[in-house]
Every structure is written in structure tokens, then in C-alpha cells.
Structure 1
Amino acid sequence: MIYKRGKVYWYNFRWSLKNEDGTVESFRIVKSAKTHKRKQAEDAEDEHRRALRLGEIHPNDPWPKPAVSAPPVFRVFSKEFLQYAKTHTKPGTHTFYSVCLDRLLTFAAIADAPLNAITGETVSRYARHRQEVPENSVVTVNGDLRTLRRVLHIAVEWGKLDRVPSIHELPQAQGRDCVLSFAEEAKYLAKASENLRDATILAVDTGMRPNSELFPLKWTDVDLTVRPESPHGVLHVRQGKTDSAQRSLPLTPRVAEVLQRRKKAAEAKGKLSAFVFPGAGISGHITSVQHPHKTAIEDSKLASFEFYCWRHTFGTRAAQSGMDRFTLARLMGHSSPAVAARYYVHVTETHVAAGFGKFVEYHTRNVAEGLAEAFPQASEAIQ
């Protein structure tokens, strides 16, 4: 029914709504058409009825529907996201997001698109585009895709976007979870540069995370003092991926030898860097071993794998040596088993040292056997 109040037309009608349980609710709709022309008021009522009929609104919802501001362009929102990341994530994570976003912003179909215009098809085109660039590995592309997914999830949390499109990472033939045998390790180390060889030995004998723990390792965190619980010394991880990453790592004999040699060589040059693995960049330490790692793999004729696999190899070898999972969780710096450790009161430093002793025994024996298997012609000399 159309009627007039003063100079403005209103409409008034009843609307019934059937619920899922079969009951029927009746609503009285009374709205101002906000016009002094009857035809426009009739059109306003028809539009309201249409929205109700199509289920676009509920009879109790406000009408007309509140105007929704257009989602921001990805390039603009990425700046807001980086500010958020700077405050709410660790410096290394913020740097990772920043580097990935730099690559994403070179792709106009994403960079210049409103957030709600980025679809799964757009993301697939980006992945194909990045794979055409020779120096971009699958790992690099997947890092970009994870960053994009995180940005869009934050946009949803902030009410800038309704939903995140499906973002599928590229398949990896051998990912971060592959395990190297002792023979493969021997072949790799034989072809690795000195710096890479030392970094690899620390990675596979301590399980440190490469980017956040191994590469930024400082000499102040290296303690080569002989103690009953750590006869070859210990490394202190002050910070890392999670709170549980803060831990002390007993050393194997060959890690202690590597650290002693590197320190002696650095002191002989008269320049002892703060870092065990110094680098020429702003950070002062190496940030990647990608190129020498790739060369060592090719020269040793091994199947491709990520440097991170040395950490996974450590964990697998430790478990195979008979180390209990609570000790392994402590050494790996895992966050989830740390919850169980609160109830496992026997995980003391002495307990960790005993578990690690089993690993050293197992490790020393298998390193020798791995060398013999990799280079059988020199087995007598090795033994």
C-alpha cells in the first residue's frame, strides 16, 4: 500500500517467511520511499519486494542495503599488511613477507587489482609466470603464494574482503621432508665448498633451522667448554621461529672440530666476525647457500633436495638412534611437543645429554659406514 505522510510517500505491506522447520513468520514492512513522486515510491516498494523474494535480505534487515565500500587495491593494502607484519611478527618473518610482496607487485594482474578481483585463476597465472623465470624455484614461488594467502586472510579479518580464493601451492618432487642417507651425505660433503661443508655439518648434527638459527649463529652463543653433560661443547639458540626454539644443543665431535677450526682461522686473520658464518650483506652473516648447495648436488650427482632437509635428516637419524621423542622435541625446538614436556618432568639437561649420547654413538658409527659405502675404493684407508 502506498500512502503519503506530509510531502513524502511511504509504503506498507506484509511479508511471510517460511522457516526450515516448516513454521511461517509474518512481518509488517513499513518504509519511507524518500520521494514526493508516487511512481518512484511504487518502484521503491517493488525493489524491496524483489530483494525479499530472491532472499537477498531478511525482512528485519535494513533497507536500502547499506553501501559497501569497494575493497582496496592489492598494491595499497600490501603496505598496510607490511605495517601489521612489522608489529606482529618477528623481523625475519617481516623480511620474508617483504621480499615475497616485492615479487608479487611486479605482476600487474595482482598488484593493480582490487582484493575481491583476485581469483584462483589469477593466482595460477602468477605461478606460471614465475616459473618461466629461470632463477625462481618451486620453493620461491610457493613462498609467494603463502604470502599472498596470508595477506588475503588478514583482509578478511579486517572486513576488507568477504572470502579468500583457493590458492594451491605447486607440487614439489622432493620437499623439505626428504631424508639423506649417510652415503649421500658423504658424497655431498666431498663436493661442497668449505663454507657449505661446515654449515652442512652443523645443520645435520644439530638440527638447527637454517635461516633463523644456523646462518645468524654468533660466536657468543658457542660454548666449547667440556662438561659432563656436554663433553664436546654446546650451542645456545637465543631466539627462533617459536618460543620453544630457545634451547641449548650439545655438539657432536665433528661439529666441535668445525667450530674450533673456524674460530682459529678467523682469529689468525685478525678479524673475528660476530658471526660463525660471516657474510658481505647488511646482516653481517650469510643468508643463503642456494648456489653452492645446487653446485654440490650436481657435482655429487644426487637428486635435488632443499638445504632444509639436513634438519629433517637430523631429526630422523636421532629417532632411529633410539632417542626418546621428548628429548628429540627439546633438541629440535618443536613447539607442539613442548606442551607434553610440561607433564614429562624427567626431561632435564642430564636426560637430554643421555639421549644425545646415544645419538653421537649411532652417528659416529654410521658416518664411517657412509663414507665406506660412498667411496668403496678408499674403504681400507677410511677404516
Structure 2
Amino acid sequence: MAEKKLPKGIRKNGNRYQGRIMFHGKNYSVTGATITETKKAMTDLKYRLEHGLFVEREKVTFDSWFKTWIKEYKQNDLKTGTLISYQNYYNFYIKEPLGKMPVSSIRGEHIQKLYNKLLDDDMALSSLKIISAVMNGCFQRALKNGLIERNPVKLAELPRKKQKTERRVLTLQEQELFSKYSQESYLHNLFALMLRTGMRSGEARGLKFSDIDSKNNVIHIRRTLKYETGRGFFEDAPKTSSSMRDIPATPEIMSIIEAQRKINREYSNVVSIDEYIFHLPEGTPISRERVQAEIDRILKKINETGSHVERFTSHCFRHTFATRAIEAGMQPQTLKTILGHSSLSMTMDLYSHVLPNTKAEEMQKVASIF
């Protein structure tokens, strides 16, 4: 069977099609996965050439293209927090090694070298995957726009998964020690709430009195509090759609919130339902750094008494809550909804962490059947 005749200016190049345009005596080319896609790219290129909108791809640096990609293709598509995260990952890890290079000159080995360096610097594989996803999206759009012939990210390989570091979970003794020595802390109620609900730090710090349903004893998680240099504090949607959730509030949890309300009345006679439950006396929101500094201060105090509790971050409260819940027999699906996990597999990963500690007991239960 004779091969289908290609339209004028289009030729087959491997698995893709290449379209060529002559403009003012100079050749320009685009690529596409199909003839139709290539023809459209040629039409777009011709328009840009005729209207002075075309910039030769050899002159487009990865830095300038990343800014274009963010502004024109992602700014109205992503949550503010995600957008900031993309820009931070680029500025901290990608810009220096690749930013000044022409986007068309970046090859698979450049991406691979970046992966290997970041891994040698002990970057977590999860963070490396985010960096890879950001670059892949950026280069994929460059490919569609005819700036590059192929996506170099697809030519590199992410390193194999490193062995997971064990989650930091407070033992019962550590939990009791920390709770005891945090009694005099101005963040005691924040720590107590996080430990009893599994909230993320930003969710707890962004909690308002209007989120508390005292009639039905429910806490509504509707936002997360974030901070960006130059912008200050701002509210963002929770991490995922499943993070937008309701957490049942026990009488103890409600008493913690009421205790904080009384403290806030000492700051101001009127406590608005729209104010953050946890804030500084002048009304300023509490930053993640302040939370960590206070945890470190309490740990130092504990360790000075002769007891020893290793350093941990506020996320440890979330893992500790999940561990205590599993130990108490809470079912995976229930824990998933309370934690706001996007998939059951994330919750089951917590179970695999806790269950080895109790499997001997469970085996004894099974043995009693025989």
C-alpha cells in the first residue's frame, strides 16, 4: 500500500511530523504528533512571524520560558499555594543549573545530572518527583509551541526509590512529657488540638471560630494559612479536595477551643467569629517558624531536666494522632476522612508503620482460635 502523500511543507521525522515555513528568505520549522497538529502549528507560526510575535527558539532561555509558562498557562489554572510552590522549586533548584541555557539546548543528560546532584544532596525522592513534574509540564508546553523538538525530561530517569526514613511519632512517654512541659506555653492549646485531631499545621493555624459548629460538635476544615516573603500571610484552599473536611469534636477538643477563646478575650474584649482561633496578642497570625521555635524551646526545657526527647516538627503531631488512632482500633476508612488523605493507600501506609509493633499480639489472638 502506497504511503499517504504529505501536504506541502510537511515531512515525516521519526514518529512525528515536521512542518517548514519560508519567511523573508529564512526557514522556520515546527513539529507535531499528527498532520493536523503540525498544520495548526504552521498556521500559528506564520501568524507570529507576520505580526512580529516570533522569537527564535535559540534566543529563548529556560528562565524566560518558565516565566512565560507560569504566567500564560498556569497562573489561572493552579491554586495560589501550588503556584508559589512551583516557583520556589524552580528558583531554589532549577534556575541556577538550567535557567540561562537556551530552552532548545537542554538535553536529557542535563536533566539527569540535575537529578543526580539533588539526590546526592539528600533531597527526598518525593521532592525530586515534584521538580521533575514541574520541568516536564514546562518542557511539554515548549514542545507544543515548537520551541523544542522533544521533551528532555522524558529522556532522563528518576533515581530508584530510596529507603523510606521512619516517620517520627511520639511515644506515649514523650507525648506525656511534651504535654506536661507545654502547659505554660502560649501555644499549648494549639499543640493539644493538633495532637487530638491530626490537623496539618496550616489548617490549625488558619482555623477560625466560625469553623466551629458547637451545636453539632464538628470542626470544619476550609482553608490553610500560608506565608510568602513580600506578600505576607494569606489563606489558600486545603492541600487537596479531600482535605476540605469535617472533624468530629470530642468534649475535650471543644474545651481546648473554649480555653483558647478565654485567652483571646484577654487580648480583646470582643472575640470575632471571623478571627483566627490561634493568633498573637496584637492579632497577627502565627507562622510555622514560630510554632517550630516554641516546640524547640519546650524540648530544650525537657532535655535540661535529664529526660531526652529527640527534635521533631509540628507534622509529628499528625503522625502521632494517626498512630494513637490506629492503636485504639480506628478503621482505615474513618481515619482517612479525618486526616483528609486523598487516597486510602496513604492511610494504609500509616497502618503498615504501626502494625508491626502489635502483630505479635494479633497472632496470639489468632492462636487462641485453634
Q: Same fold (TM over 0.5)?
A: yes
- Secondary structure of the residue aligned to 1:290 is helix
TM-score, normalised by the number of residues in structure 2: 0.59
Give percent identity, aligned residues only.
21
CA deviations over 1:307-341 (Å, ceiling 9, x no partner) = 21321222232222122223222212223349xxx
Structure 1, residues 147-176: CA drift from partner, whole Å, max 9, x if none?
A: 53232111243125513244559969846x
The one-letter code sitting in structure 1 at the alignment partner of 2:83 is H
Q: CA RMSD in A?
A: 4.3
- Correspondent of 1:236 among 211, 217, 220: 220
SS at match of 1:88: coil
- Does the 8 Å contact 1:205/1:314 carry over to 2? yes
Partner SS for 1:236:
strand
Give, in whole Å, the separation in 1 of the partners of 2:160 and 2:99. Answer: 19
Structure 1 Cα separation of the partners of residues 342 and 198 of structure 2 = 14
Contact 2:208 2:276 in 1 (8 A): yes
Spell out the pairing of 1:79-90 with structure 2 (5 A cutoff). 79-83=67-71, 84-90=73-79
Counterpart of 2:137 in structure 1 is: 154
Q: Do residues 204 (structure 1) and 195 (structure 2) align?
A: yes
- Taking the TM superposition and a 5 Å limit, the aligned residue runs for 1:48-197 are 57=14, 66=29, 69-70=57-58, 72-83=60-71, 84-104=73-93, 108-115=96-103, 116=106, 118-125=110-117, 143=127, 145-158=128-141, 159=143, 162-164=151-153, 165-166=156-157, 174=165, 177-192=167-182, 194-197=185-188
Equivalents in 2 of 1:150, 1:283: separation in Å?
Answer: 35
Partner of 1:252: 250
State the Cα distance separating 1:260 from its structure 2 match: 1.0
Matches of 1:82 and 1:311, distance apart in 2: 33
Instruction: Name the CA shift for 1:277/1:95 in 2 (closer, same or farther; >3 Å).
Output: farther
Q: 1:295 deviation in Å?
A: 3.8
Deviations 1:188-221 (A, max 9, x none): 334447244322222221111222x222111110
Q: Show the 5 A alignment for 1:207-356.
A: 207-211=198-202, 213-225=203-215, 227=216, 233-239=217-223, 240-270=238-268, 272=271, 274-278=275-279, 284-288=285-289, 289-298=291-300, 299-300=302-303, 301-337=308-344
- The normalised TM-score by structure 1 is 0.57
Counterpart in the other structure of 2:360: none
Letter in structure 1 aligned against 2:112: G
The answer to whether the Cα contact below 8 Å between 1:247 and 1:333 also exists between their aligned partners in 2 is yes
> Which SS does the other structure have where 2:76 is aligned?
helix
Q: Please list every run of 5 or more consecutive structure 2 residues that lacks an aligned counterpart in the other structure.
A: 21-26, 32-56, 224-237, 346-370
What letter corresponds to residue 100 of structure 2 in structure 1? Answer: D
> 1:353-368 counterparts in 2 under 5 A?
none
* Deviations 1:202-243 (CA, angstroms, capped at 9, x unpaired): 2221111222x2221111102334x5xxxxx32111242222
Q: Which runs of 5+ in 1 are unaligned?
A: 1-24, 33-51, 132-137, 228-232, 339-383
1:202–1:255 CA contact under 8 A, matched in 2: yes
Deviations 1:273-309 (A, max 9, x none): 7111226999844344233334444544323433213
Distance change >3 Å, CA 71–CA 182, structure 1 → 2: farther
2:198–2:318 Cα contact (<8 Å) kept: yes
Distance 1:308 1:265, change over 3 A: same
Equivalent residue of 1:87, what SS? coil
Partner of 2:86: helix, strand, or coil?
helix
Mark the CA change 1:191 to 1:167 in structure 2 (over 3 Å): closer, same or farther.
Answer: farther
Q: CA deviation at 1:247?
A: 2.0
Structure 1 position 187, deviation (Å):
2.3
Count of residues paired in the alignment: 274
